[in-house]
Structure 1
């Protein structure tokens, strides 16, 4: 949903940056890898220590590199099949680091098992959501439906995390359980979508 409505506005910002990077001979794959590495380092360094607001800000900045690699690919006139595979793989790595680091914080640093459970459900569901789509497409099926795609999941997670870091009560717990429920529901949606695609 966010991809559909926000993409035109975001592209007006990222496309000039992408063109500038192309002029300086930066490839989209480099942008992808740098953004992923920095996101992972920021997540595993800041979140487990309980630096939630700072971690949210830093991780969000580097996750936005995921928008820049597409802008660089458009500006250069080529992205390539490998670029798409690399981007998808790096997305999974970054998501795993963010969710895993917050899971560590919830269980080890703060000792909150319910938050840990919600994060674990969201982490597993996020990986399954992506896998079902990829596997369905490999089989010639369609499984693109879902109320909680990657952008929505990250927005809910990082907004809840950042506000909790500022001391806003209850917001993180609500965000985590909404995220867990929406993620599990999205898995079901994609499986149903793949089945209906087969039947059609």
Structure 2
């Protein structure tokens, strides 16, 4: 869904990347800085209950996620290391977001459906790491496993969007339901990818 806006974001971010290049900013620096900011926001604002502010700020920086890639292409610094760093640190910031959501429910037990929300967020945290691991491990053994539910921006939007707008009157049951759907979809994705890899590898002589 949100992945369709990548081309638009690339167009919007290109002038920003050109300015950063003039100041000697590297793609790796942008990658690291974005991860630090998102992680800090997720582990402070969300647990403290500043859901709308935290959600909007995290969403803004997620939209900027492609800035390092644009910068790398413009500067001719695109590399396998940069791709590896970006993918690895994406897992860090994603984990921080769902850890922050989990902490919110744990630290606010009087919130409706707090136990349900904590369990669903914790499931999203665990499965959010397993989904990309299955793809990476598949590639390591000569298979591909790119199928599954939603891209990273979509998962974050589903996870944090409804929760953020509970500050604006959205019922908490909508947020916990969204987290549950995301957890189930992630589990299904793991199963789909494992099945896909098995179909590919059983055809290869051992």
> In which range does the TM-score fall when normalised by the shorter chain?
over 0.9
C-alpha deviation, 1:6, in angstroms = 2.4
- Whether 2:144 is the aligned partner of 1:145: answer no
Does the Cα contact within 8 Å between 1:129 and 1:186 map onto a contact in 2?
Answer: yes
- Of 169, 175, 179, 1:176 maps to 179
Larger radius of gyration: 2
C-alpha deviation, 1:92, in angstroms = 0.8
- Whether 2:110 is the aligned partner of 1:108: answer no
**Counterpart of 2:195?**
192
C-alpha deviation, 1:88, in angstroms = 1.2
Does the Cα contact within 8 Å between 1:11 and 1:71 map onto a contact in 2?
Answer: yes
Residues 85-138 of structure 1, C-alpha deviations (whole Å, 9 max, x = no match): 111111111011110011011122235111111111111111000101111111
Which runs of 5 or more residues in structure 2 are unaligned? none
Measure the CA separation in 2 of the matches of 1:145 and 1:23: 39
Measure the CA separation in 2 of the matches of 1:21 and 1:189: 41
Question: Which portions of structure 1, spanning 4 or more consecutive aligned residues, are displaced by more than 4 angstroms?
Answer: none
**Aligned residue pair count:** 199
When the two structures are superposed, what TM-score results if normalisation uses the length of structure 1? 0.93
Measure the CA separation in 2 of the matches of 1:137 and 1:19: 34
What's the Cα RMSD here? 1.5
When the two structures are superposed, what TM-score results if normalisation uses the length of structure 2? 0.90
Measure the CA separation in 1 of the matches of 2:2 and 2:161: 15
Measure the CA separation in 1 of the matches of 2:181 and 2:175: 10
Does the Cα contact within 8 Å between 2:59 and 2:157 map onto a contact in 1?
Answer: no
C-alpha deviation, 1:14, in angstroms = 1.8
